[in-house]
Amino acid sequence: MAVPTRSSDESITQSDLNTVMEQVPKGALALAGIALLLLLAGWFFVYFVIFIPRGSVG
Amino acid sequence: MKSLERLTLAHLWVAFAAFAVACFFGVWQMWARSPLPAPFVTPDHYFLSVTAHGVSMAFVLTTFFIMGFGYFTAETALGRPLPGIHWAWLAFVISLAGALMATVAILSGRASVLYTFYPPLTASPIFYFGLVLVVVGSWIWCVLMIVAMSRWKHANPGAPVPLAMYATVANAVMWLWTTIGVAAELLFIVLPASMGWNDTVDVGLTRTLFSWTLHPIVYFWLFPAYIAFYTMAPQAAGGPLYSDTLGRLSFVLLLLYSLPVGMHHLLMDPMQSTGFKFVQMMLTILVAVPTLLTVFTIAASMEIAGRLRGGRGLFGWIPALPWERPMVLATGLSFVMLFFGGGGGLVNMGYGLNALIHNTSWVTAHFHLIFGGAVVIMYFAISYEIWFPLTGRVASSVLAQRIQLWLWFCGMMVMSLPWHWLGLQGQWRRVAQFDYSNPIIAAWGPWVIVSLVGGLLLLASAILFIWNLASFRRRPFAAVPSFRFAVAVHSPRRVPAALNGFGLWNALVLFLMVAAYGWPIAQFFVLQAPQAVVHRVDRGG
Amino acid sequence: MVVGGAVALIFAAILYAGLVLHVNPPSNIETIDPKTLHLSAEFTETNLGTKVEAGGQVISRIVATQFAFDPQCMVVPSNEPVTLRLASPDVIHGILVTGTNVNTMVIPGYVSQIHTVFTKTGDLLMPCHEFCGFGHSQMWATVRVVPRESFRPNADGRVACEKS
């Protein structure tokens, strides 16, 4: 049966939130950091392994 | 049903009708390009299809969705009726008339110039005039959004404008700046040429003016997706938004840096100097910053929600999230596509690196992933989310919504990842039929077929999307609670004036545009480059 | 902080390539009248294709029209600097050469110029990569990269593909 996809946040207590906020944003930093590293690695790969060997153009 | 709901729904249905038709054209195009025999393949049919597909997806789906969602947001986030709703209906009629005019011109074969127009190739004036009307309707929308926010601020002095509305108005302000380029191009150069008042056009100037619009328009399309990330996804996941301020900052940075960067679409053009190309490339890197900020802020918001649900450890919050909710699922899938699409984009803007992939299938892969994928999947999720307050009816199957979203994601990845590889091999764009007897091209054949399979998955997803929306209608009316946007962990009581309005940012945009585009445009009036003869495509050309 | 570092890294790589390796996008801003291209000294039909100029530079001149390149086949030497110069009398075209970084738009009103060095020998595909009208799909040329010994200009300094 369908449920509206928003949940009410009255059930979250301030103390729950405080506990959780001690950890946040470590996970987000880790995830975003890994994504950024992968992006950079990919970019440098394309740049130095594919692009530069194909010759100079100007 | 109240007038605002009807207004929003009218816009959304026009958007999705254009979208569905465009999906059929897209699949046929991929079939035509593949080694498999396809029906009706002639160059004029192919380029008619590409024009129809591009105009529908890039101008109709987007503009109408954004306008409709904007009206909904204005009333819902601000908690007061939309001012000037009659103007909004007028805008709808003007834009719809324009879209229909352009459609007639395209389908009758008189406008096969693609959605990016390539002067001196020139189409029937009905085509251009139709698109001008679509934009004029959207300008009325912009004014209404600005008026709605400013009246709310007047009635609530010192209070922070709700983030969803602040972002919507940022988009409206950005769109007004964005359309200057294409409006100048159409009104002063292309329309006069298509009416026969000029025999020649300055191609360098025309392309440069178009590039002014071509980059920020994709941010215009992207804003609703980001609005959903900040103001709907955290709520759906069951937690608060990590930071309201970071949200405002991201939207402001998008406004500032999406505009003075259009030249990265002209990196391979001979009429602009390395100096300005380099400057605009540096500014382009800056426009990646708000996206990185957004990824972080939304991940942090999801982390709060996941940890509240019991997730532990560095990444345990990820599986703990309520992935069965379409808005949460769409956000996750969108981020994956944003990663690949954004990565491709970093290659595109890399100054000399652009030569590796300009006008190859790599570019096609990039914008299908990032717009067709990351952004449009959020358009679906937003629609599912607001359909209940709009129509008062509930979804008949949330499972069907999830299936539709997964199909879209899988289809988009299967279709566009091979295009990256093909682009590096040199597969070039806008080809009706490849000569597979050439050994270089023959090697591409199997990957083209793989892409086609991805396209078929997308078409199935598009049909399921329309079905899902239509099947909302079959349920009995239920009581409609008022729609709420996500709240932040620390809801601001006051925000700095700079993050509650746009005066400062407009001044900065003006400064940036003069610096980045001033000479690149002015040079044409000094250089007086020889003009090219108008080539009509609508008179048996 | 981290984002700033990433941004700086990418800048540095691009600057390095631009200044040290001379990798730049084609940007010479040189105008030419498309309506009289065939009457110009440089892009007249008999001057198209590859020619070794008086100073030893190898220059290949190509005209892009709806819907063919002139010449359809050109010969260039490997491992030597080559300059490509392109112009169009009609609409926007563009070229890339497969397996290389040669890529440029050809805009009527301007001459496009690329300096490059071809390293691999063989027949490379040079399609028109920008939509130029209904015949766009069939518009391409061949770039034949030959080793030094096989690159033999005639008395005028010109080299053309052998008719087969």
Which H or E element spans position B537? Answer: none
Judged against a pLDDT cut of 80, whether residue B540 lies above it is answered with no
The DSSP secondary-structure symbol of B241 reads: B
Q: Which amino acid is at A6?
A: R
CB contact under 8 A, C135 and B282: no
Average pLDDT rounded to a whole number, residues B78-82: 91
Nearest Cα residue to B293 out of B358, B345, B328, B242: B242
Half-sphere exposure of residue C98, counting CA atoms within 13 Å on the CB side? 25
**B303: closest CA of chain A, how far (Å):** 7
Q: Does B345 touch chain A (CB under 8 A)?
A: no
CB contact under 8 A, B353 and C14: yes
Please list every residue in chain A whose beta carbon sits closer than 8 Å to the beta carbon of residue B489: 17, 21
Judged against a pLDDT cut of 80, whether residue A48 lies above it is answered with yes
> Which residue in chain B is spatially nearest to A57 when comparing CA positions?
B352
Which residues touch B451 (CB under 8 Å, ≥6 apart)? B30, B34, B414, B415, B416, B418, B419
CB contact under 8 A, C10 and A54: no
Which residues touch B113 (CB under 8 Å, ≥6 apart)? B51, B121, B122, B123, B127, B537
> Residue B486: what pLDDT?
81
> Residue B474: what pLDDT?
60
Q: Which range is most confident: A3-7, B52-56, B79-83, B352-356?
A: B52-56
> Residue A3: what pLDDT?
33
Which residues touch B243 (CB under 8 Å, ≥6 apart)? B297, B300, B488, B489, B490
Judged against a pLDDT cut of 90, whether residue B484 lies above it is answered with no
Euclidean distance between CA atoms A37 and A15, whole angstroms: 35
Judged against a pLDDT cut of 80, whether residue B2 lies above it is answered with no
> Residue A7: what pLDDT?
42
Judged against a pLDDT cut of 60, whether residue A6 lies above it is answered with no
Three-class SS state of B269: coil
Average pLDDT rounded to a whole number, residues A4-29: 72
φ, ψ (nearest 5 deg) of residue C63: -110, 135
pLDDT digit string (tens) for B135-155?
A: 999 999 999 999 999 999 999
> Residue C17: what pLDDT?
64
> Residue B317: what pLDDT?
93
Confidence of residue B37 (pLDDT cuts 50, 70, 90): very high
Token pair 């290389």 is found at C100
Judged against a pLDDT cut of 80, whether residue A57 lies above it is answered with no
List the end-to-end C-alpha distance of chain A, in Å, as a whole number.
63
Cα Rg of chain C (Å, integer): 17
Average pLDDT rounded to a whole number, residues B66-92: 95
**C111: closest CA of chain B, how far (Å):** 7
Residue B143: CB atoms within 10 A of its CB come to 14
Confidence of residue B332 (pLDDT cuts 50, 70, 90): very high
Q: Which of B375-379, B423-427, B473-477, C60-64 has the lowest mean pLDDT?
A: B473-477
Average of per-residue pLDDT values in chain B: 93
Please list every residue in chain C whose beta carbon sits closer than 8 Å to the beta carbon of residue B114: 131
CB contact under 8 A, A51 and B292: no
Confidence of residue A18 (pLDDT cuts 50, 70, 90): confident
Nearest Cα residue to B4 out of B334, B386, B338: B386
Three-class SS state of B322: coil
Per DSSP, helices labelled H in B81-194 are: 85-107, 125-155, 163-184, 191-194
Which residues touch B213 (CB under 8 Å, ≥6 apart)? B178, B179, B180, B181, B182, B185, B262
Residue B22, CA distances (Å) to B40, B52, B295 in order: 17, 7, 30
Q: CB-based burial of residue A42 (10 Å sphere; 0-12 exposed, 13-18 middle, 19+ buried)?
A: middle
Tokens of C141: 């040329």
Euclidean distance between CA atoms C9 and B492, whole angstroms: 36
Considering the candidates B33, B110, B215, B264, report the single residue annotated as catalytic: B215
Q: Which of A52-56, B331-335, B403-407, B442-446 has the lowest mean pLDDT?
A: A52-56
Judged against a pLDDT cut of 60, whether residue A1 lies above it is answered with no
Confidence of residue B353 (pLDDT cuts 50, 70, 90): confident
Judged against a pLDDT cut of 70, whether residue B479 lies above it is answered with no
> Residue A2: what pLDDT?
35
What one-character-per-residue DSSP string does B353-401 give? GHHHHTTBHHHHHHHIIIIIIIIHHHHHHHHHHHHHHHHS---S-HHHH
Judged against a pLDDT cut of 60, whether residue B297 lies above it is answered with yes
B425 closest CB neighbour out of C32, C98, C138:
C98
Calculate the dihedral angle through the C-alpha atoms of B193, B197, B199, B201, rounding to the nearest 10 degrees: -40
Average pLDDT rounded to a whole number, residues B448-474: 94
> Residue B279: what pLDDT?
87
> Which residue in chain C is spatially nearest to B527 when comparing CA positions?
C31
Judged against a pLDDT cut of 60, whether residue B376 lies above it is answered with yes
CB contact under 8 A, A52 and C24: no
Collect the ranges in chain C with pLDDT lower than 50: none
Euclidean distance between CA atoms C68 and C45, whole angstroms: 13
Contact B412, B368 (CB under 8 A): yes
C137 closest CB neighbour out of B356, B358, B432:
B432
A54 closest CB neighbour out of C2, C22, C101:
C101
Confidence of residue A8 (pLDDT cuts 50, 70, 90): very low
> Residue B518: what pLDDT?
92
> Residue B413: what pLDDT?
97
pLDDT digit string (tens) for B203-236?
A: 999 999 999 999 999 999 999 999 999 999 999 9
Judged against a pLDDT cut of 50, whether residue B410 lies above it is answered with yes
C112 closest CB neighbour out of B43, B270, B289:
B270
Three-class SS state of B535: strand
- Name subunits touching A (3+ CB pairs < 8 A): B, C
3-state secondary structure chain C: CHHHHHHHHHHHHHHHHHHCCCCCCCCCCEECCHHHHHHCCCCCHHHCEEEECCCCCEEEEEEEECCEEECCEEEEECCCEEEEEEECCCCCEEEECCCCCCEEEECCCEEEEEEEECCCCEEEEEEECCCCCCCHHHCEEEEEEECHHHCCCCCCCEECCCCC
> Residue C25: what pLDDT?
76
Euclidean distance between CA atoms B444 and B424, whole angstroms: 11
> Residue B488: what pLDDT?
83
Contact B66, B171 (CB under 8 A): yes
Q: Which of B16-30, B216-230, B465-479, C15-29 has the lowest mean pLDDT?
A: C15-29
> Residue C16: what pLDDT?
65
